[in-house]
Amino acid sequence: KNQVEQSPQSLIILEGKNCTLQCNYTVSPFSNLRWYKQDTGRGPVSLTIMTFSENTKSNGRYTATLDADTKQSSLHITASQLSDSASYICVVAGKSTFGDGTTLTVKP
Amino acid sequence: EAQVTQNPRYLITVTGKKLTVTCSQNMNHEYMSWYRQDPGLGLRQIYYSMNVEVTDKGDVPEGYKVSRKEKRNFPLILESPSPNQTSLYFCASSLYAGVRETQYFGPGTRLLVL
């Protein structure tokens, strides 16, 4: 069964700190892995897209990594800002399978 | 401004009363899709459309219909809504359905079926 599991479910950090979100998947066949940011009450916005051959992709303060052998991905946020407070969703295709997301709260 | 728009943004209806949620994109995208988002279940695809006149079922198509008569529009139709269709709905589009295509989501439609 295709599954995407994200951890932690929620996370609270102080502004300026770094954090790492995890995504483990069992989707097969694998085509690409995407990370989205979803602000409360808004639609998801794409952060990164990685294919099988890519093991890291950056978008500003966001850096995603992919280990296709262990079927794990992480999203690292550097020097967090209050505006980073959102839900972060991992999506794995072949057949697009969405994780439940990690809710990040950045406090001043 | 390049965007995906949905209407209405909020809707309260009663069981059995047909409704349509519109979706429109101004980016000349070929690929469009509908998702529903429920707590603990994440986003699940309802229907998608590779291009005009071509649509196919996603993971949870029961109780929904779609049409794609024009490239820019992809309405979601609930012929006889039921309370289990209470959810947050998102329309999305991308230029094509390729592995590197960025998918753009609409702002969402929150539906409550009484």
CB contact under 8 A, B4 and A101: no
CB contact under 8 A, B43 and A44: yes
Chain A interface disruption, residue of B57, B93, B103, most A CBs within 10 A: B103
Position A93 scores a pLDDT of 87
Give the residue from A3, A86, A89, A32 showing the smallest Cα distance to B99: A32
Chain A interface disruption, residue of B3, B32, B37, most A CBs within 10 A: B37
Residues lower than pLDDT 70 in chain B = none
Position B90 scores a pLDDT of 97
| CB-count exposure of residue A2 (10 Å: 0-12, 13-18, 19+) | middle
Q: Which two structure tokens, joined as six digits, stand for B16?
A: 């059995």
Is the sign of the CA dihedral B90, B94, B99, B102 positive or negative? negative
Residue A96 sits at the chain B interface (C-beta within 8 Å): yes
Partners of B77 in the beta sheet? B20, B65
| Contacting residues of A for B106, CB less than 8 Å apart | 43
CB pairs under 8 A between A and B: 41
**Cα–Cα distance list, B27 to A48, A53, B71, B72 (Å):** 20, 29, 10, 8
Residue linked to tokens 């047909």? B18
**Cα–Cα distance list, B104 to B16, B18, B45, B70 (Å):** 31, 27, 14, 18
Position A7 scores a pLDDT of 96
Residues lower than pLDDT 70 in chain A = none
CB contact under 8 A, B4 and A43: yes
Query: Least CB-CB distance to A46: which of B103, B107, B108?
Result: B103
Query: Least CB-CB distance to A101: which of B42, B45, B102?
Result: B42
Position A104 scores a pLDDT of 98
What span, in angstroms and rounded, lies between the C-alpha atoms of A74 and A76? 6
Position B64 scores a pLDDT of 98
